Structure 1
Amino acid sequence: MNELDLHYPPDSCPFCGIAKAYPEPGSRRPGLQNSSNKESTEARAESDLGSLEACVPRGEVQGERTSPSSFVVAASKHVVAFLDILPMVGGHLLVATREHRVKVADMKEEEGREMGFWLPILSRVVAKVTGVTDYNIVQNNGARAAQVVPHVHFHIIPRPGTMPEIKSKSWTMFGRGQRDELDDEEGAKLAGEMRRVLKEELERTKASPKL
C-alpha cells in the first residue's frame, strides 16, 4: 500500500466523496455477449458511459452528501470534473478519476482512455467560459511532487494576461497555501455555465468515447 494511503484512505478522501455523490450514468444493457464484435464494442462504449448528456449533471448536490462541498461539471463512468475550491484563478477545474487511484501509474487502462477523452473537451469548456485561451494542465504524483490530495487529478488552470501574485515560484504554487476559497455563489454560477457550455460542446463535436 502506498504510504499516502496509510493516512488518507479512500473512505476519508474528499474526491471519493464527490464521486459517490454523483454516480456514474447509465448501465450495461443485457445481451451484449450475443452481439457481433463490432456491435458489442460500440454498445459497450455507449452503455459504459451512458449517453454523453447524462454525464453532465443537471444541478448541484446540496447538504452533506459531499465533503468538501463541490461544484461538479461532468460525471462519467471513470472521471469526475469539478471546480477547485481553492482556485489559483477563476475557472480552475479539477479532472479526477472516479475510483481512488493515488498516482497515474495506479490508473487502469480504461480510466486512462476516458481521461484522455475528457481533458481536451473540458479544456475547451474552460477556455470558452473564462475567455482565456492559454492554460496549464498540471498533474502531480506524490507528496514530494506537490500532490496535496492523494487521488489522481489533473488541474486545468487558465492563464489570463494578469495573474495573481504568488509568493513562491516553486512547485508549491500548486499546493493549498497560496489560494483563496471559492465563494459558494460564484462556484455554483460558474459550474452551471460550464455545464451549459459542455453540453453545447458535446453536441457540436458529436463525440463519443471509445473504451
Structure 2
Amino acid sequence: MHTKAAPSFALLQDRRTLPLIEAYFELHHLKQLYRQGWLRVGIPRETCESVAEHSFFVALLCLFLADSYFPEADASKLVRMALLHDVGEARAGDITPHDGVSREEKQRREREAVERIFSELPRGADYLALWEEYEQGASFEARLVRQVDRLEMGLQATVYEHQGAGDLSQFFASVHKVLETPELQALLAELETLRPAR
C-alpha cells in the first residue's frame, strides 16, 4: 500500500491517551494514504489525492447536492455518512478491485478497523451504525452517498485528464454503473462534456 508516510497511530507507540486523541491519530493516516487506483494508472504521487481529500469532497458534494437536488434527503446524515464512509481504510488500506482481495475480505478488514477506531468514542456505536447503514445501502441517504462517492471519482478523473493523465475512461465506466438518480446521471453527462478531447 503506497502512502506519503507511515501510519500516524504508530507515533503513539502503544501509549494510552484520551479516546478522541487516539481516534485522531488513527484517522490521520487517511491524509497519508494515496488513493491506490490513481497510482495504478500512473498519476504521480505529488498530485495523487489522499483518501482524506476524497472523503472531504464526497462530504461537500453531499451537502451541495442535498441543498440543490435532494431536499427530501437528511443533509446532516448525508454529510456524516460521507465523512465516515472510508474510515476503515485508515487501518485496512485503500483496497482496489485489482489487489486480489475478495469483497468479503475487504469488508471484514474495514469492519474490524472501524470497530476498533470507534470503540472508545462516546458515540462510537452511533458512528458504527451509520457506517454499517452506508455499507448495506440501507437508506436513501446511504445509496446516495455511494453514488456521490463514485461521482467524485469522475470529477477527479476529469481534473487528472486535464492535467495530462491521458484517457481515464475506465473510471467513468465505473461511475456510470452506479448512478441511479436522473439528477446525478445528468451531472455526469455534463461532466463528460468537460473532458479533454481524446
> Is TM more than 0.5 here?
no
Greater RCO (Cα-Cα under 8 Å, separation 6 or more)? 1
TM-score by length of 2: 0.30
TM-score by length of 1: 0.28
